[in-house]
Chain A
């Protein structure tokens, strides 16, 4: 085994890593935002709109991310949607994540005791105030572990973007290994790298979670 190639390809790999983090961060933020909108629609919108949204959720959750990317990136131009690989990948990641985030928010909202919402209604708060002041803060906190968990899953999904030529880390690693024929070393290092990344993010996530939920855990 020979790992010296990593030195030579350092800058390209670093750029790839930057794109991975970019895709992950933006994909998570946009996916969460879309998921939150979906969850609120499911809670408040009239029935037929909820059906449409539910169909969207089933379709996205029932199909592989890779196939979604193919439809978007290779199929898109046939209906006039021409995107470069990176924006297509970002859009794909956003769409892919949104139903999972929506489900997380939905069960977070369900975890808010109904009585706490009734108490707000009983003193005459508007539905909008109730959403902003009671439902969102409490629902978000109870969704937090699942949110962190799913954004970790999304870090791993970013490697699939390499298949539609988004120049992220795996794409750069693949290019490097086809040019140098060091397939095994390259992929091994990539594996170790992701292991480290995911472990770090989960650790940071747990600490963050403990800080946020400080007041919400009953004294024993």
Chain B
């Protein structure tokens, strides 16, 4: 598997007068896991969604393996075809799973292979089965999403993304909608992916995951990237008072 790198340079994003991303600079290294943390509304999900251009950034550059995402040149949007071409190698997992409820788990995974990769139905289903087996759902392939638990649904969503053989995976709070006892099974699948050398960008509130799996942790607040460093330096010996105060609140809320 080939792993992508992402360079984010001076990216800005506005919602009307609201400045959602302020001159964000970040390097996402190939084969490494980057966790984006910070309070809600800090812009971390927006930044993640800019990487595959589900959210359009207004200025700056996001380059994936050197190629600019979303624009041919500053201010000139790329064609839909080219955008789809680039998205093909980026997998995304959403907080709300976003599985298609009218298709079985296997059909959900095969859909992209058939429509986007132009694969035959039989081959696509075979690949879909393999991907579902990998996330531990070999026995749930014919179930419709609403007959699965949240954790199982999220694993189907991961299978849907990895079946496309992406070189980069984006996770948007993948465990925030799950009951606490289901978080572990999803994080385990993500750990396996990380161990295989996938480039991953993960927006998360799971500090434990960030501490143990991430290669670098980026802290965002109010649209600004406050700091990027190893998990240890960000989570255990943060220099910036904003990070300190965020972690203090986090610990207070999670101790009993």
Q: Is A15 an interface residue (CB 8 A)?
A: no
Residues on the B chain within 8 Å of A125, using CB: 84, 111-112, 115-116
Which residue of chain B has the shortest Cβ distance to A114 in the bound complex?
B98
Stretch at the interface among B31-39, B87-95, B184-192, B222-230: B87-95
Q: Give CA–CA (A211, B96) in the complex, Å.
A: 26
- Tell me the dominant secondary structure on chain A's binding face: helix
Q: Is the CB of B100 within 8 A of A122?
A: no
Also in contact, A219 and B147, with CB within 8 A (given A118-B54, A122-B87, A124-B112): yes
Q: Does B120 touch A at the CB level, under 8 Å? A: no
Whole-angstrom distance from the CB of A93 to the nearest CB of chain B? Answer: 31
| Contact A115–B87 (Cβ < 8 Å) | no
Binds B, one of A62-70, A132-140, A190-198: A132-140
- Chain A 108-126 against B: per-residue CB contact (8 Å), 1 yes, 0 no? 0000010110111111111
Cα-based distance from A80 to B90 in the complex (angstroms): 58
Q: In the assembly, what is the distance between CA of A120 and CA of B99, in Å?
A: 9
Distance between Cα atoms of A51 and B238 in the complex (Å): 55
**Does the CB pair A123–B88 fall under 8 Å?**
yes
A129 beta carbon closer than 8 Å to chain B: yes
Shortest distance between the CB of B102 and any CB in chain A (Å): 5
CA distance A123 to B108 in the complex (A): 12
Closest to B166 in A: A123
Q: Tell me if B146 is interfacial: C-beta within 8 Å of chain A.
A: yes
B contact set with A: CB distance below 8 Å:
52, 54, 80, 84-85, 87-88, 90-92, 94, 96, 98-102, 111-112, 115-116, 144, 146-147, 157, 160-161, 164
Identify 11 residue pairs between A and B in the complex whose beta-carbon atoms are under 8 Å apart, listed by A's number.
A113-B96, A119-B92, A120-B100, A122-B54, A123-B91, A123-B116, A124-B84, A124-B87, A129-B115, A134-B100, A218-B146
Interface on A for B, CB 8 Å cutoff?
Answer: 113, 115-116, 118-127, 129, 133-134, 137-138, 141, 215-219
The 7 closest A-B pairs by CB, nearest first: A115-B98, A119-B98, A123-B112, A215-B144, A122-B92, A124-B84, A124-B87
